A = this chain, B = another copy of it.
Amino acid sequence: MLDLDTDLPDRDTLITHLALARSPRVGTVTFRRLIATYGSTAQALAALPEHAARGGMKGYRPVDMAAVEREVAMAADVGAVPLLLDQAGYPERLRQLPDAPMLIWMRGSMPDHDRGATAMVGARNASALGLRMARTLAAELGELGHVVVSGLARGIDTAAHEAALETGTIAVMAGGIDTIYPPQNLDLAERIAAQGALLTEAPPGLAPMAKHFPRRNRIISGLSDSIVLVEAAERSGSLITARMALEQGREVLAVPGHPFDARAAGCNRLIREGAGLVRSASDVVEALAMPSPMGISEEQLVWAPEPPSDGVGDALAALLSPTPVAEDELIRQIDRPAGQVMAALMDMELSGAIARHPGGMITLA
């Protein structure tokens, strides 16, 4: 649990961390590599233009420091505290993700989730049965000591948060910490901030848009050790979240429904594809007792600094296209040390030559 007196970063640390995180084209992979290379955010920030130039771009400009100051002030105005990727207090499960948020704004305090954290996702236009199931499951999970993580949306999310308020719940938002959506959940959000945690990686003031949800959803599953789909139609966003959770190595579970009920179609499809079938909280606990088939190794997260190298960028440019290729695949195909390839990729990312996608995929931008 975060100790607000000792674990909060000092202002300078926060400002440079945020500046690096908000600088153009700095994603988590690059952020980590820069910190590993330079040892401090301040030095990494200073080195950005040089890397971008090496990747082929002249005139790279880090973030506007006035914007950084503004973000910090706006967050402070609503009483939000920052959790920094490389600092104490940052949620450990989330930190394991290759694309973990570099910074999180939080209101409230992180509930103790040593006993487990379960994400609950599902339809916004849930049925009465679905809502009842979400409430029952969230309450049962809470009794078993699990924190319930969800997205503050209407329907399943709202039911899950409400039933877990007393025992511990975390709402992950797609917009800014000061921008509650949907508006009818303003009161629920306040209660979550008072009794649990309300958090987001977005800067204050950002209104949530559809395109933000997939990235938000990776935080919901990233904070959790299992994710339960309560009611979800075919081709629903919840299904995408479930697949992403699977890639994160999370235990993916779903509540079944009758095949004639279209609102169960997504859940039933997931179960057919191997997701665990959930009837009650004890099924969630049982699933967690089994070893997870996937997991992200430490090596993917920590790098030693590597000297710049010539020619790797050209070789990479030849291999890359708008079709996503895995970073691992690139490293295999180029006959140079992996660290050199990764360093060159960082330079290319900063210069805007390439873009990174979930699952370690890379495209030519």
Contact = CB atoms under 8 A, between A and B. Distances in A.
A276 B256 CA distance: 13
A62 interface: no
The residue in A256, A264, A268, A277 that gathers the most chain B C-beta atoms within 10 A of its C-beta is A256
B260 A133 contact: yes
Contacts of A289: none
Interface stretch (A88-96, A196-204, A278-286, A305-313): A278-286
Interface of A: 129, 132-133, 255-261, 264-265, 268, 271-272, 276-280, 283
Given A257-B258, A259-B279, 13 more contacts: A133-B260, A256-B256, A256-B258, A256-B259, A258-B258, A258-B261, A259-B278, A259-B280, A268-B277, A268-B279, A271-B271, A272-B276, A272-B277
A259 B268 contact: no
| Number of copies of this chain that the complex holds | 2
Contact of A268 (B132, B256, B260): B256
Contacts of A280: 259
A272 B286 CA distance: 11
Contacts of A278: 259
A260 B264 CA distance: 13
A129 B260 contact: yes
A280 B264 CA distance: 14
A5 B280 CA distance: 58
Closest 6 CB pairs of A and B: A256-B256, A259-B279, A272-B277, A257-B258, A271-B277, A256-B268
Contacts of A255: 258-259
Contacts of A256: 256-259, 264, 268, 271, 277
Nearest to A261: B258
A73 B276 CA distance: 55
